[in-house]
C-alpha cells in the first residue's frame, strides 16, 4: 500500500491518478470510478499523515461516501467508520514500503535491509539500528532452532520463518539441509500432517474441497508459478472428525462418482489455466485412487506420483533395467522381483482378488503370509521396503538374509538415523529418500518443456543417482552421497531427465541447451537477498 509520504507526493503532482493515456484534465481512458476511489484513497492517506508517517488502508462503501468528509475533518480515516452494521469494501493500494514491506514474506529481509534501503522504503524507525548479513541471520536462527528439544517445535518455527521471510527460510534450509531436512520432511512432517489443524497459522497454497465443485476454474486463476494444493474430499478418521481443532472438510470421505467428478473438474481446470506443460505431482493419494488417477491422467496431462512410482514403480524400474541389460522380455524380468503386501506374498493363487497394479507381480508360488517365511523360501539378494510400516526388517529377517548371501550388508533407510559406533568404527546409516530423485526429476521435466512423463525418464533419473555413488560413501556405510550435495545431485538428475525427454521427442523447449547440467543449475532457485532500489 502507499505510504502517506508517497500518497502526498502523488497527490501534489496531479489531482487524479489515471489509467492508460490522457492529459491532466482527466479525459484519459481510465475508469472514472477507479480514479475516484484512488483520489479518495490518496486524500485519506494525506489527512492521516500529519504529523507522523503511517500506513493506511482505504476501506469504503457506497453508504459511506456522504459521511467521509465529516470524519476526515475530525482527523480520522475512512476505516474509522467501519461498524458491524455498515459493511465496508477492503480496498488496498500496495507499494512495498514501511510495514507492508516488513510483512511481505517474498520481499522482507528483516535486519538485512541496508541503510540506503531503509531510507528509500520508509523503514527508518521501524527496525533496530543494526544491519546484519543474511549469513548472520542464518547463524542466529540455527542457534535458536537447536534450543528446541521437540522436532515439531522446530517444524513450527521453520514454518513461521517461511511466513515472515521466504528467502531466509530457503537459505537456512539449503545451508543446513542434512540437519533440517528431517524437520521439514521425513519424519517430522508426518506428525505435522496429523496435527495440522492444531498448528495451522497462515494458509500456504490452495484448498479445494467438495464445497468448491463447479468453481475450480475460478479458484485456479490467480496462482502464477508453483503451488501446493490440498484436495479435500472428507475423512473416515473418527479421531479427526471428532477433533474440535480439525480444519478439514468434516464429513465422510467421498468415493465413486462424486470423487472422480471433482478430480476431473480440477484436472481440466489446471490444464485450461496453465496449459499443456503444467506439471502435476500427485502426493499421498490412497493406493486405490492413486493408480487409477495416474493411469487415467498420464495420457492427457504431465503428471507423476512419487509415492506409487517409488513403490511398485521401483519394481517396474528394476525389471526395466534388467530387461535393458539382458535384452530379455520385460515379462520374464518381472519374475525376478517379488512383492509382499499386508496379506503376504503376491502369488498367482491370489490373482483374482488383487488390484490391477499388483497383478503383473503375481508369480507362481505357494501362499506365504510373513516376510520371514518369504525370505527363507525365495532367498532374495535385496530387500526394499516402501510401505511406511516400521519394524518390518526384524533381526530374524536380517539373519535369514545373511545366512544365504555372502558379502557385506548395504543398508539405507527412508528416515535418517544417527551414526552408530561398532567395534571402534563409526558407521553412518545410509538414507534412501525420494528427495534424492524427485526434485531433480521435476526440474528436468520443467527445463525441457516435456509434455508427458515417460518411465524411461524415471529410469534415467535412477541411473544418474546410482552413478553418483562412490567408494568413499560405501566405506562410511552409505549408498548415496550426503544431502549436503543435493543441489549438485539434483542438477545432474535434471540434466539426464531432460536429455531423455529430448531423445523421446517429448521436449518442447527448443533449441536444446548445449550443457543441460549447467542450464539446470542456472534455473535453480537461489535464495540470496536482492538489493532494492
Annotation: binding site for a divalent metal cation? 283-284, 307
- β-strand 420-422 against 425-427: which pairing, if any? antiparallel
Q: Which residues are annotated as a binding site for (S)-malate?
A: 433
Residue 465 and residue 494 in contact, taking contact as beta carbons nearer than 8 Å: no
Cα separation, 30 vs 49, whole angstroms: 27
Residue 204: which of 154, 158, 140 has the closest Cα? 158
* DSSP state for residue 214 in the 8-state scheme: T
Residue 137: which of 117, 157, 165, 156 has the closest Cα? 165
Cα separation, 124 vs 147, whole angstroms: 32
Residue 189 and residue 214 in contact, taking contact as beta carbons nearer than 8 Å: no
Phi, psi of 425 (to 5 degrees): -120, 140
Sign of torsion over alpha carbons 288, 293, 294, 299:
positive
94 SS3 class = coil
Q: Which residues are annotated as a binding site?
A: 283-284, 307, 433
Q: Residue 207 is placed in which grid cell?
A: 484448498
Residue 460 and residue 496 in contact, taking contact as beta carbons nearer than 8 Å: yes
* DSSP state for residue 509 in the 8-state scheme: S
Q: Residue 530 is placed in which grid cell?
A: 536482492
Query: CA–CA distance from 300 to each of 213, 271, 303, 451 (Å)?
Result: 21, 9, 9, 9
Amino acid at each position: 500500500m502507499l505510504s502517506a509520504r508517497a500518497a502526498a507526493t502523488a497527490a501534489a503532482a496531479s489531482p487524479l491518478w489515471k489509467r492508460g493515456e490522457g492529459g491532466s484534465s482527466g479525459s484519459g481512458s481510465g475508469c472514472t470510478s477507479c480514479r475516484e476511489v484512488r483520489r479518495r484513497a490518496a486524500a485519506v492517506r494525506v489527512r492521516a499523515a500529519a504529523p507522523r508517517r503511517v500506513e493506511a488502508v482505504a476501506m469504503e462503501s457506497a453508504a459511506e461516501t456522504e459521511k467521509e468528509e465529516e470524519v476526515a475533518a475530525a482527523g480520522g480515516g475512512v476505516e474509522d467508520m467501519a461498524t458491524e452494521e455498515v459493511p465496508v469494501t477492503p480496498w488496498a493500494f500496495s507499494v512495498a514500503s514501511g510495514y507492508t514491506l516488513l510483512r511481505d514474506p517474498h520481499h522482507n529481509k528483516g535486519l538485512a535491509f541496508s541503510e540506503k534501503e531503509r531510507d528509500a522504503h520508509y523503514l527508518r524507525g521501524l527496525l533496530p539500528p543494526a544491519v546484519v548479513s543474511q549469513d548472520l541471520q542464518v547463524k542466529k536462527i540455527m542457534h535458536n532452532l537447536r534450543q528446541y528439544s521437540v522436532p515439531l517445535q522446530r517444524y513450527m518455527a521453520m514454518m513461521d520463518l517461511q511466513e515472515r521471510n521466504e528467502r531466509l527460510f530457503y537459505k537456512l534450509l539449503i545451508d543446513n539441509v542434512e540437519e533440517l531436512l528431517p524437520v521439514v520432511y521425513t519424519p517430522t512432517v508426518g506428525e505435522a500432517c496429523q496435527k495440522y489443524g492444531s498448528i495451522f497459522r497462515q494458509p500456504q497454497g490452495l484448498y479445494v474441497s467438495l464445497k468448491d465443485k463447479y468453481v475450480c476454474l475460478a479458484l485456479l486463476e490467480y496462482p502464477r508459478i508453483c503451488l501446493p494444493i490440498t484436495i479435500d474430499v472428507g475423512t473416515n478418521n473418527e479421531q479427526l472428525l471428532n477433533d474440535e481443532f480439525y480444519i478439514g472438510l468434516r464429513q465422510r470421505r467421498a468415493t465413486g462418482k462424486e470423487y472422480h467428478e471433482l478430480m476431473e473438474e480440477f484436472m481440466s481446470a489446471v490444464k485450461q489455466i496453465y496449459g499443456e506443460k503444467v506439471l502435476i505431482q500427485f502426493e499421498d493419494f490412497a493406493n486405490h485412487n492413486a493408480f487409477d488417477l495416474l493411469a487415467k491422467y498420464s495420457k492427457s496431462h504431465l503428471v507423476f506420483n512419487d509415492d506409487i512410482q517409488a513403490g511398485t514403480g521401483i519394481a517396474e524400474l528394476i525389471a526395466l533395467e534388467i530387461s535393458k541389460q539382458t535384452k530379455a522380455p520385460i515379462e520374464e524380468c518381472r519374475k525376478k522381483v517379488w512383492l509382499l503386501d499386508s496379506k503376504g506374498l503376491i502369488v498367482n493363487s491370489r490373482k483374482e482378488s488383487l488390484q490391477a497394479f499388483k497383478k503383473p507381480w503375481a508369480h507362481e508360488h505357494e501362499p506365504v503370509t510373513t516376510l520371514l517365511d518369504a525370505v527363507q523360501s525365495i532367498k532374495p539378494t535385496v530387500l526394499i521396503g516402501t510401505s511406511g510400516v516400521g519394524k518390518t526388517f526384524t533381526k530374524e529377517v536380517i539373519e535369514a538374509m545373511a545366512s544365504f548371501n555372502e558379502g557385506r550388508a548395504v543398508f539405507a533407510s527412508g528416515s535418517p538415523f544417527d551414526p552408530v559406533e561398532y567395534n571402534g568404527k563409526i558407521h553412518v546409516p545410509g538414507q534412501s529418500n525420494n528427495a534424492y530423485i524427485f526434485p531433480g526429476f521435476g526440474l528436468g521435466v520443467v527445463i525441457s518443456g516435456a509434455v508427458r512423463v515417460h518411465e524411461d525418464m524415471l529410469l534415467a533419473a535412477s541411473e544418474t543417482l546410482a552413478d553418483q555413488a562412490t567408494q568413499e560413501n560405501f566405506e562410511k556405510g552409505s549408498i548415496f552421497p550426503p544431502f549436503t550435495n543435493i543441489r549438485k545431485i539434483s542438477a545432474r538428475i535434471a540434466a539426464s531427465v531432460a536429455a531423455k525427454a529430448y531423445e523421446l521427442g517429448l521436449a518442447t523447449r527448443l533449441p536444446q541447451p548445449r550443457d543441460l547440467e549447467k542450464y539446470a543449475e542456472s534455473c535453480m532457485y537461489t535464495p540470496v537477498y536482492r538489493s532494492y532500489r
